[in-house]
Structure 1
């Protein structure tokens, strides 16, 4: 299992990640804009070129992030701008850990199969920590 940080920014993800790339080196392994999504026609004007998902390997970890503009319903505050991202080894482990971490907290996005191929969901634990789960069989056990 792998745990990686996931940052939310209010429109400056690309700038932030170019900075992180200049600090840590390496190359982005993914850059997806909201215009690349099957839902591209439903995003608010001005958000099409914002970052939906970006990933930069740093050592044995992956620094990930997204733009989370208020025009899409996000309300960023210090504390809700970072998720701990779990990439479990199996769908079953994902279900088990999700249930345990969300107990006494809240399920923010139920686990479900997503268009990019991952089994994905988010929750907030009883201590207020944000957790993102992403099981992708293409990358499991690597």
Structure 2
């Protein structure tokens, strides 16, 4: 089993996932638009929206889409969760935090904590919350 975070965006999932691929050093393994799924059946204004995107970073996966289903109500935003990154080296934690911080709101600056050599939290420019962690050796 693999647990995977899935993020919903308001019309900018493609831009967000391209940003995450650059920041995290990953590859977009799949990107399907509403137009790809429904062809001419999709309203022209929604054909560019992302129905599903998959980012592969080593063995890790992050998935998402735009909020495309009007029957699900208005876009609720991304809230109540965070994507947590855990790395082995403090320098890598610093690098990831700096990359994701571009246009972000930092809620906890990168610092040493009781449990970590480095830990920081931010909400990125797309509204997703991130926690970057470099644990202390056991």
Task: Tell me if the contact between 2:7 and 2:78 (Cα under 8 Å) persists in the aligned partners.
Answer: no
Q: Report the alpha carbon displacement of residue 51 of structure 1 after superposing the two structures with TM.
A: 1.0
- Which residues of structure 1 form unaligned runs of 5+? 83-142
Where structure 2 has 5 or more consecutive residues not aligned to the other structure, the ranges are 82-138
Task: Verify the 8 A CA contact 2:18 2:28 in the aligned structure 1.
Answer: no
Superposed CA RMSD in Å reads 2.7
Structure 2 equivalent of residue 8 of structure 1: 8
User: Contact 2:9/2:78 (CA < 8 Å) preserved in 1?
Assistant: no
Query: Contact 2:33/2:52 (CA < 8 Å) preserved in 1?
Result: yes
Indicate how the Cα distance of structure 1 residues 78 and 15 shifts in structure 2: closer, same or farther if over 3 A, else same: same
Residue-pair matches, total: 82
Q: What TM-score, normalized to structure 2?
A: 0.50
Structure number with bigger Rg: 2
Structure 2 vs 1, CA of residues 67 and 78 (structure 1 numbering), >3 Å: closer, same or farther?
A: closer
User: Does the CA contact (< 8 Å) of 1:7 and 1:81 recur in 2?
Assistant: no
TM-score by length of 1: 0.49
